[in-house]
Amino acid sequence: MVALPANKLEIRGLDVSYGQKRVLRDVDLDVPANQIFGIIGPANSGKTSFLRALNRMDEMTSGMQVSGQVLLDGADVRSWRNVYALRARIGVVFPLPVGLPMTIRQNVTFAPRMRGQKNKARLDELVERCLRRAALWEEVKDRLDSLGSMLSGGQQQRLTIARALSQEPDILLLDEFSIAVDPVTTMRIEDVLKELKQEMTIVLVTNLVQQARRLADRTAFFLNGECVEVGKTESLFHGDHRDPRTVDYVEGRFG
């Protein structure tokens, strides 16, 4: 028998509220290591709040309250004394590219420099490695000292991915990464993600059900703050025992 991958994340009884508004209710699911885990669902179903709870971004979000457990390699993320070390292990790419007001090189080396890395040769190696992994190196290698903000939208999004990779995370969270990216660039990033899962675990939130179908090994369907169903992606799209709400969503009857 082929051994199943161990769980990188285990979520137990996760609840998220903003004041009196409860946006996630009693979510339980497991995220296996070295897989792409897709999360689909219509707007306001709690997908982004779920991501924010994974690396304690709620502590940066006014009014956001989280209860339940998020276990990273079996340890509760709330037990980490150094939240910055936690966020280095769980990198995030947001829907719109958020470049730092720096050069391309400085964007990629920002986190390592903040950790004390000053060796120029190692930083140069890191820049090339991360930009190659983000499928951006060939396009920018001759202008690394130009502003990242001068890149196209798709290039800026890949720069954001390279910056996240510079922290060498165990987990990469992507929240609607293709919302402001053209279809050709989207496909390039998707190819990158397929390769990256050999090295890390990826949690992908997307409103594009076909994107989840192309990329995700397992997928969860969120609706109105509830994790309706979770399973192997093809089973979620074509299984015989799906929740009727899942069927309606993936077949485009609402969304």
**Tell me: the pLDDT tens digits for 13-55?**
999 999 999 999 999 999 999 999 999 999 999 999 999 999 9
pLDDT digits (tens, 9 = 90+) for 121-153: 999 999 999 999 888 999 999 999 999 989 988
Residue 15: predicted pLDDT: 97
d(CA 102, CA 138): 20
Q: Which two tokens stand for residue 249?
A: 């969503």
* SS3 category, 113: helix
Structural domains in the chain, CATH included, are 7-250 (3.40.50.300)
Q: Which two tokens stand for residue 24?
A: 């996630």
Residue 134's φ and ψ, nearest 5 degrees, are -95, 10
Label residues 121-130 b or e (16+ Cβ within 10 Å = b).
eebeebbebb
pTM of this structure? 0.90
Helix ranges (DSSP H) in 40-119: 47-54, 83-89, 104-114
Residue 47: predicted pLDDT: 95
d(CA 53, CA 67): 9
Which residues have C-beta within 8 Å of that of residue 80, sequence separation ≥ 6?
A: 56, 86
The sign one gets for the Cα dihedral 49, 55, 56, 61 is: negative
d(CA 148, CA 99): 7
Measured from the Cβ of residue 202, the count of other Cβ atoms closer than 10 Å reads 26
Measure Cα distances from 251 to 20, 42, 171 in Å: 33, 13, 30
Residue 98: predicted pLDDT: 67
Which stretches in the chain have pLDDT values below 70? Answer: 1-5, 96-99, 255
Residue 3: predicted pLDDT: 53
